[in-house]
Amino acid sequence: MSALKRFELRRDLVTGKWHPTLPKDFQSVHAVEDASYIPRSKDRSQDPYFLEGPNEYSFALCGAKIKVVLAVEFRPVDTQACERCVMELAAINERYATMTKNAEQKRKLAQNYKPVKL
């Protein structure tokens, strides 16, 4: 998923309370691998999720501290995509592809295995 390092606090003029909002300038968009821990209700599934306290902060693939998780997938081709996250993601995908290839080779070897008759 896509994620940001910071949010902006804006004051609700009706309630007078401060609440986090998306920054005007995103700067870099980072990648977080697992955002499944975020509780997303169906009707608000497209909302950004703000991690407001140090106990909630997450980390991007590049190691950046994350305070906002967006409800969109990380797109390495985006101009704002963090370069280090792009590289980390490529490395993860490559490792995964190698694992899948190895598993496939093992499966084929096992399939074609014929016991030797002595």
Say if residues 37 and 3 touch (Cβ distance below 8 Å): no
Residue 30 β-bridge partners: 3
Where does this chain touch Zn ion (CB under 5 A) — which range of 10-18, 43-51, 52-60, 67-75? 52-60
Residue 60 touches Zn ion, criterion: CB under 5 A: yes
Residue 26 touches Zn ion, criterion: CB under 5 A: no
Q: What is the DSSP letter of 21?
A: E
Name the residue among 97, 100, 27, 95 with its Cα closest to residue 67. Answer: 27
Residue 67 touches Zn ion, criterion: CB under 5 A: no
Q: Give the Å distances, CA to CA, from 12 to 26, 36, 39.
A: 21, 29, 24
Residue among 18 and 57 whose Cβ is closer to Zn ion: 57
Q: What is the DSSP letter of 32?
A: -
CA distance 21 to 52: 11
Residue 85 touches Zn ion, criterion: CB under 5 A: yes
Residue 62 touches Zn ion, criterion: CB under 5 A: yes
Contacts of Zn ion in 87-116 (CB under 5 A): none
Return the SS3 of 2.
strand
Distance of closest approach, residue 35 Cβ to Zn ion, in angstroms = 14
Distance of closest approach, residue 20 Cβ to Zn ion, in angstroms = 20
Residue 30 touches Zn ion, criterion: CB under 5 A: yes
Residues binding Zn ion (CB under 5 A): 30, 60, 62, 64, 82, 84-85
